[in-house]
Chain A
Amino acid sequence: MSNEYLVEVSHLKQYFPIRSGFKTINLKAVDDVSFNIRPGETLGLVGESGCGKTTVGRTLLRLYTPTSGSVKFDGEEVTDKNIQRLRKEMQMVFQDPYSSLNPRMTVEDIIGEPLDVHKLYQSKGERHDKVIQLMETVGLNAEHASRYAHEFSGGQRQRIGIARALAVDPRFIVCDEPVSALDVSIQAQVVNMFEDLQKERGMAYLFIAHDLLVVHHISDRIAVMYLGHMMEMADADELMSNPMHPYTESLLSAVPIPDPETARKSKRIILEGDVPSPLRMPTGCPFRTRCKYATEQCAAQMPELTDRGNGHVVACWNR
């Protein structure tokens, strides 16, 4: 492969115009976010609801047209013109396995649809064989190909969604909260499957989730977002053991650890208040309203992401 990075995102902005009365204001869902993903790597993207993590994923696949900034896939700028071709390389797995599958299509047609779109078969028989093979890959019973989505459990539906994404043999998958809707015991099955598939096929993932323990488990690197901005990005272990941004720090301390001993010892940093509305963004650093280290400088200017060694980047004036 010619490029070091498979996906390069630079200064991505995604604003949604909101009409309120006579005025139109911009909701800045993603504001100046840059990151790169290497081939075969998993980048975890975490943050609370409304931080723009899902929007980032969707904008990468051009489900939205970005306001500004660029997304490059394997060195090639993603545009409205080439996105259809590039979606053979980039796919997405959605959060809700209940609403992301068409209830009126059989499993065979759901998984086969990407094959139709990209004309990846010569005959009906070949399409059927490919679908069956995909179903077996994700651990579904091939006999169930003619069933409908509602006949499956949540975990099985998520497998159907994954098989659909795998159909075109992509090099990059955006996984948007793929395990959040699943029961704990099923979650582990799906997480393992993601890992196995990556090993076999060398795909890269953008793994979006709010469950930090799952993200830490599956990711090589983790990026933390808050109100449309990227606050910190580092190696997964480095981020968990040495969080530098005050927001990351409190986010980590708020994670309920399933271990009574650690839970008793750990001290939670309880954040005051709620995430501000993205329509009324604070000036400067968006986190300053909840940050105990906030100074005047934080109110005046948004800090840049700066490298603190080993690719650990942080956007904070005080750290």
Chain B
Amino acid sequence: MGDYKYILELQDLHTTFKTDKGDVAAVNGVNFVLEPGKTLGIVGESGSGKSVTSYSIMQILAENGNISGGKILYKGEDITKWDAKQMAGFRGKCCSIIFQDPMTSLNPVFSIGYQLEEAILLHTNLNRAQAKERAAELLALVGITEPEKRLKQYPHEHSGGMRQRVMIAMALACEPDILIADEPTTALDVTIQAQILELMQELQKKLGMAIIIVTHDLGVIASMCDEIIVMYGGRVCERGTADDIFYDPRHEYTKGLLRSIPTLDNNGERLVPIGGTPINLLNMPKGCAFCPRCDEAMKICLSQVPEEIPVGPTHKASCWMNIKKMCEEGNA
């Protein structure tokens, strides 16, 4: 592997699903870069393509889905060209994923220990006894007390928060460079959510992996991301630091999203919802995906997809409003 600046780089990624009703383009040209040890947040609503993006990186798409264009560079190498065997090595060792629902992502008929050891035996040269030791170490790492006893237990004997900890332990078994967390706390209660988020940040400091956190909850990403990507209709509408996104949103969708959530101090004020219904991917508009719900939509929004332009040193957005503003300033 040659020199690389980014641990992961997505170049114009397209992912398409074949369905009876036609091809569904779930991801439509997503670009991003991830530096080692950094945290990237991907926010969006259902159907925005945020989960499919992360499944594409792991190449664990459903059978009718495939990566139809673009590159995924891991340490500078395009992994979309890798064969199944190489990908099996990639998963777990280079990049791991934890899923939303800790209730269904563990196998109920095997003990926690068996499932953890399986991951370790698969990816390392350790023997069974060593793997067992390592499994106990991992459980201790994710803050589970009495790890030896826990290893013999089955998933149903653990609470949701505990199971998510086990999932994280499993994902970290081979110390991957990247951890993808797909809605890691959506199924958990707030106090448990706080525990898990804290744990992820702590482990990142300890182990130095990069994290991609995929969520619909703007609150979750406000505090822990170096960069945030806002997705809608399979495209990136806006990217920047948390401050850029929250204090100076430059895409109408991001603005709408921020207006529609209640905060502590806007009590009494009415929420301003985004009109319309979420996007139907079978029936994508020709221009900007958000234009049917956008109050500011102009003629050009209907016919042409806006290009992504920089609106600040760390801040980019794909919205015709910014381009219009730029032109107006240029003329003045």
Q: Spell out A's residues near B (CB within 8 Å).
A: 48-49, 153, 155-156, 183-189, 191-192, 195, 210, 212-214, 216-217, 236-237, 240, 250-251, 253-264, 268, 270-271, 274-275
Establish whether residues A188 and B274, one from each chain, have CB atoms under 8 Å apart when the complex forms.
yes
* Distance (whole angstroms) from the CB of A229 to the closest CB of chain B: 16
* Distance (whole angstroms) from the CB of B195 to the closest CB of chain A: 6
Taking a contact as CB atoms closer than 8 A, the residue among B198, B222, B264, B271 that contacts A240 in the complex is B264
Q: Which A residues are CB-close (under 8 A) to B243?
A: 260-261
Residue B159 at the A interface, CB < 8 A? yes
Taking a contact as CB atoms closer than 8 A, the residue among A48, A188, A262 that contacts B260 in the complex is A188
Establish whether residues B223 and A183, one from each chain, have CB atoms under 8 Å apart when the complex forms.
no
Establish whether residues B195 and A156, one from each chain, have CB atoms under 8 Å apart when the complex forms.
no
Given contacts A251-B190, A268-B198, contact A183 B216 (CB under 8 A): yes
Residue B101 at the A interface, CB < 8 A? no
Q: Which B residues are CB-close (under 8 A) to A259?
A: 222, 246, 263
Distance in angstroms between the alpha carbons of A59 and B153 in the assembled complex: 36
* Distance (whole angstroms) from the CB of A43 to the closest CB of chain B: 16
Q: Which B residues are CB-close (under 8 A) to A48?
A: 189-192
Q: Which A residues are CB-close (under 8 A) to B159?
A: 274-275
6 nearest A-B pairs in the assembled complex, by CB-CB distance:
A256-B219, A188-B273, A263-B223, A188-B260, A217-B262, A185-B274
Taking a contact as CB atoms closer than 8 A, the residue among A188, A254, A264, A274 that contacts B261 in the complex is A188
Establish whether residues B264 and A256, one from each chain, have CB atoms under 8 Å apart when the complex forms.
no
Q: Which A residues are CB-close (under 8 A) to B222?
A: 256-260, 263
Establish whether residues B45 and A184, one from each chain, have CB atoms under 8 Å apart when the complex forms.
yes
* Distance (whole angstroms) from the CB of A281 to the closest CB of chain B: 16
Q: Which B residues are CB-close (under 8 A) to A256?
A: 190, 193-194, 197, 217, 219-220, 222-223
Establish whether residues A192 and B246, one from each chain, have CB atoms under 8 Å apart when the complex forms.
no
Q: Which B residues are CB-close (under 8 A) to A251?
A: 190-191
Establish whether residues B273 and A260, one from each chain, have CB atoms under 8 Å apart when the complex forms.
no
Establish whether residues B264 and A213, one from each chain, have CB atoms under 8 Å apart when the complex forms.
yes
Q: Which A residues are CB-close (under 8 A) to B198?
A: 268, 270
* Distance (whole angstroms) from the CB of A249 to the closest CB of chain B: 11
Which chain A residue has the least Cβ–Cβ distance from B277?
A153
Distance in angstroms between the alpha carbons of A177 and B243 in the assembled complex: 31
* Distance (whole angstroms) from the CB of B19 to the closest CB of chain A: 16
Distance in angstroms between the alpha carbons of A230 and B162 in the assembled complex: 26
Q: Which A residues are CB-close (under 8 A) to B102?
A: none
Which chain A residue has the least Cβ–Cβ distance from B199?
A270
Q: Which A residues are CB-close (under 8 A) to B219?
A: 213, 255-258, 263
Establish whether residues A237 and B267, one from each chain, have CB atoms under 8 Å apart when the complex forms.
yes
Establish whether residues A216 and B262, one from each chain, have CB atoms under 8 Å apart when the complex forms.
yes
Which chain A residue has the least Cβ–Cβ distance from B228?
A260
Establish whether residues A254 and B190, one from each chain, have CB atoms under 8 Å apart when the complex forms.
yes
Given contacts A236-B267, A258-B246, contact A183 B256 (CB under 8 A): no
Given contacts A184-B257, A216-B264, A260-B242, contact A254 B193 (CB under 8 A): yes
Q: List 13 A-B contacts (CB under 8 A).
A: A153-B277, A183-B216, A185-B45, A185-B257, A189-B273, A189-B274, A213-B261, A216-B264, A258-B261, A261-B243, A270-B198, A274-B159, A275-B159
